[in-house]
Structure 1
Amino acid sequence: MLYSNSLSRLIDMFKKMPGIGHKSAVRLAFNIVSMSNGEADEIIETIKNAKEKIKYCSICQNLTETDPCDICSNEKRDRSTICVMETPKDVIALEKTREYFGLYHVLHGAISPMDDVTPDMLKIKELILRLKDERIKEVILATNPSIEGEATAMYLARLIKPLGIKVTRIASGIPVGGDLEYADDVTITKAIELRHEM
C-alpha cells in the first residue's frame, strides 16, 4: 500500500473535484497533511462557512450570500434584458467585461442526454416564471458553444419565442467547445455585442 488509509481517502476526495487529476490530488493531500493544525482548521472552517452561507438567489439562481443577490437588487440594472448562463462562473466572466448591464439567469448546467441531464434538472421553470414580467423584452442565450450548450439554447428558444419575447444568441466569438469562464474579456464582449436573434 503506497498511502495510509486516511491519506488515500483525502487523495480520493480531491480527485472528485473537476480539473484535479491524480498527481494534483496527491500534491494537495500532502500539502494539507504538512500544514499546522491551525492552518488546516482554518481551511475546514472556511469550507464549512461557505457551504452554510452561500445559497441560490431566489430570482436569478446565481450563488449569493444575500437574497436577492446584489445584481437582482440593483435598481440601476436594465430590467428589460435577461442573459441566460450555464454556471455562476459564466456570470463572473461576463461581469468582468463591464459591458453588460442587464439581469442574469443561471441554469446550473446544460441539457445533456449522454450525461442524463434533462431540462427538468435545470433552473428552466424558474426562468419561464420570470418571463411573466412585462418589462422583459429580450432574453440573451449565453450558454457555452458546445453541443450541450447549443441544444439547451435551441430548447429555450422554442419555449420563449411563443411568449413574444425577443430571443438572441451570443455570437461565436467564443470557440466551439470552449467555456465562457476561460475566454478573455474582449472575446466575451464581442460575443455579446454580435449576438443574433434566434
Structure 2
Amino acid sequence: MATSSAGPEIERLIQLLAKLPGLGPRSARRAALHLLKKQDALMRPMAEALSDAADKITACSICGNLDVSDPCSICTAPGREPTTICVVETVGDIWALERAAAFKGRYHVLGGVLSPLDGVRPEDLNIGKLLDRAAKPEIKEIVLALNATVDGQTTAHYLADRLDGLDVSITSLARGVPVGGELDYLDDGTLTAAFKSRRPA
C-alpha cells in the first residue's frame, strides 16, 4: 500500500471531498489541490458558506424542502396553488422544476425511492406525511413527478395504490420525445413512452 506525502489535514480534506457524488479519490485530490492553491479566493469563502449552511438551513416540516425558514418559502408563498402537491424524490428535483417555472403548486419530498436491492422500504421514505397531506379536503391533485427509473416507477405505483380511495386526482408527468429531440437518437424506452403518452394534435 502506497504511503501519502500529504499531512493528516490534507488527507482528511481529500477523504471528505471523495464522499461527494461524482468525486472519486483522484478527483478529490485534484479538488483539494485546487482549493489549497486558491485559499483566499475559494477555500475560505467556501468554508464560511458551508458553516452558514450547516447553521441556518433546515428541512421544511411540511414538504421536506431545504430552506432557512420552516415552513419553507414555497409552502408559505401566497401566490402558489394550494390544491396541488407535486411529489418528488429529492430537493434537487424541486430546484429543477422551479428553474423551469413549470409548476406553481406545493411540493412533497420523499427523500428517495423504494429500492428492495438497497434496502429502502416505505417506512424509510416521507410517505406518511404525504398521505396525511393528501387527505386534507383542500387537496385536489397529487402529481407523481418521480424519475423514469425502475425504482422510480415502482414507487409511483406504490403511492398511487396508497392514495387510491382519497378524493384526489392522481397524475404523473408525461414521458416521451424531448423538445428539440430527433427520433433517430432516442432510446427505445423513450419512444415507447412517447407513444403511450400521445395526445390529440
* TM-score by shorter chain over 0.5: yes
Give 5+ residue unaligned stretches, structure 2.
Answer: 179-193
Structure 1 match to 2:39: 36
Cα-to-partner distance string for 1:151-188 (whole Å, 9 max, x where unaligned)? 1101111110121321111111389xxxxxxxxxxxxx
Q: 1:3 aligns with which of 1, 5, 14?
A: 5
Cα-to-partner distance string for 1:104-151 (whole Å, 9 max, x where unaligned)? 101111111111111111111111111222011110100111111111
Structure 1 match to 2:181: none
Cα-to-partner distance string for 1:31-69 (whole Å, 9 max, x where unaligned)? 222233685333222111101111111111111111211
Aligned length: 179
Q: Over aligned residue pairs, what C-alpha RMSD do you find?
A: 2.3
Structure 1 match to 2:157: 154
- Answer whether contact 1:168 1:195 (CA < 8 A) is retained: no
Identity of matched residues, %? 40
Q: 2:131 aligns with which of 124, 128, 133?
A: 128
Relative contact order higher in (CA < 8 Å, ≥ 6 apart): 1
Structure 2 match to 1:65: 68
Larger Rg: 2
Residue 20 (structure 2) pairs with residue 51 (structure 1)? no
- Look up the equivalent residue of 1:159 and give its one-letter code: R
Compute the TM-score of the two structures, normalised by the length of structure 2. Answer: 0.81
Residue 41 (structure 2) pairs with residue 20 (structure 1)? no
- Answer whether contact 1:84 1:105 (CA < 8 A) is retained: yes
Structure 2 match to 1:165: 168
Compute the TM-score of the two structures, normalised by the length of structure 1. Answer: 0.82
The correspondence of residues 77-96 of structure 1 with structure 2, limited to 5 A, is 77-96=80-99
- Look up the equivalent residue of 1:82 and give its one-letter code: I
1: CA distance, partners of 2:89 / 2:7 = 37
